[in-house]
Amino acid sequence: MNTRPNVNELLDEGFAMGGERLVALDLADTEMLVPNPSIDLLEPAGQREKWWALQAGRLPEGPIPDVASTRRIRSAVREVLDAHLAGRRPEATAVEDLNAASSAAPQSVRLDDGELQVRYHVEYGGNAKLAAIARETIELLADAEQLALLRRCANPECSMLFLAEHKRRQWCVGSICGNRTRVARHYEKTRKQS
Ligand SMILES: [Zn+2]
């Protein structure tokens, strides 16, 4: 349990980003918000299945959530994290959606052969994967130390969110956004000089 995908595995499958410490961040990053209209990387259905398969190692077992519920939780995660970055209160509906998804599949812990196991009680009709993602988001928001590491990519053309495990991290993927931005700055500078 808790094996996260490598960012390159996600890039190879057509996603812009991923392999963050929290699945919630990876989920938020499946929507590119700067293009207008935004681009949903979980479309079409084949991509959605691939994404959930890549995340399966660190999520509870159970069916893949339906499109509408996935979108709702993704928007809620995005809203509460964006609100934090903007220093404003999140919309109440986003908080309600996270709380509802978490409590729709309540969790209990048990000791099994010396190991802690989390059980998701899906008999109440919830989806375990979404409950886990909602819980992660709630725990992140309640953890000031972790939350202080939350960043949006420094490339103005990029909406990706991540937790900066070291202070200097500015880019979602340095080899993509970092390079692109450095090249653009260099171009601007040389153009002004000539
Ligand atoms: Zn980026």
pLDDT (tens digit, 9 = 90+) per residue, 57-85? Answer: 999 999 999 999 999 999 999 999 999 99
In-domain check, residue 31: yes
Q: Label residue 34 by pLDDT band (50, 70, 90).
A: very high
Q: What is the mean pLDDT of residues 150-176?
A: 92
What was the pLDDT predicted at 115?
94
Q: What is the mean pLDDT of residues 164-187?
A: 84
Determine what percent of the chain is predicted with pLDDT higher than 70.
Answer: 98
In-domain check, residue 2: no
Secondary structure (DSSP) of 153-180:
-SSTT---EEE-SSTT---SSIIIIIHH
Q: Give me ligand 1 centre to Cα 4, in Å.
A: 20
- Residue 57 DSSP symbol: G
What was the pLDDT predicted at 194?
63
Q: Give me ligand 1 centre to Cα 172, in Å.
A: 4
What was the pLDDT predicted at 24?
98
Q: Are the CB atoms for 10 and 19 separated by under 8 Å? A: yes
CATH code at position 36: 1.10.3300
In-domain check, residue 122: no
Q: Give me ligand 1 centre to Cα 150, in Å.
A: 14
Q: What is the mean pLDDT of residues 131-144?
A: 97
In-domain check, residue 115: no
β-bridge mates for residue 51, sequence order: none
| 1 pLDDT more than 70 | no
In-domain check, residue 95: yes
In-domain check, residue 118: no
101-118 residue pLDDT tens = 999 999 999 999 999 999
What was the pLDDT predicted at 139?
97
Q: Are the CB atoms for 173 and 154 separated by under 8 Å? A: no
Q: Give me ligand 1 centre to Cα 157, in Å.
A: 7
CA distance 100 to 73: 10
| 23 pLDDT more than 90 | yes
In-domain check, residue 114: no
CA distance 149 to 167: 8
Q: Give me ligand 1 centre to Cα 158, in Å.
A: 5
Joined together, the tokens standing for residue 140 give 């992140």
Q: Give me ligand 1 centre to Cα 19, in Å.
A: 14
Q: Give me ligand 1 centre to Cα 168, in Å.
A: 14
Q: Label residue 86 by pLDDT band (50, 70, 90).
A: very high
Q: Label residue 180 by pLDDT band (50, 70, 90).
A: confident
Q: Give me ligand 1 centre to Cα 173, in Å.
A: 6
Q: Give me ligand 1 centre to Cα 72, in Å.
A: 23
Q: Are the CB atoms for 127 and 106 separated by under 8 Å? A: no
Q: Give me ligand 1 centre to Cα 80, in Å.
A: 19
Q: What is the mean pLDDT of residues 14-19?
A: 93
Q: Give me ligand 1 centre to Cα 111, in Å.
A: 41
Joined together, the tokens standing for residue 189 give 């500078």
In-domain check, residue 35: yes
Q: Give me ligand 1 centre to Cα 5, in Å.
A: 18
**Which residues constitute the domain of residue 178?**
7-102+128-193
Domain tally for the chain? 1
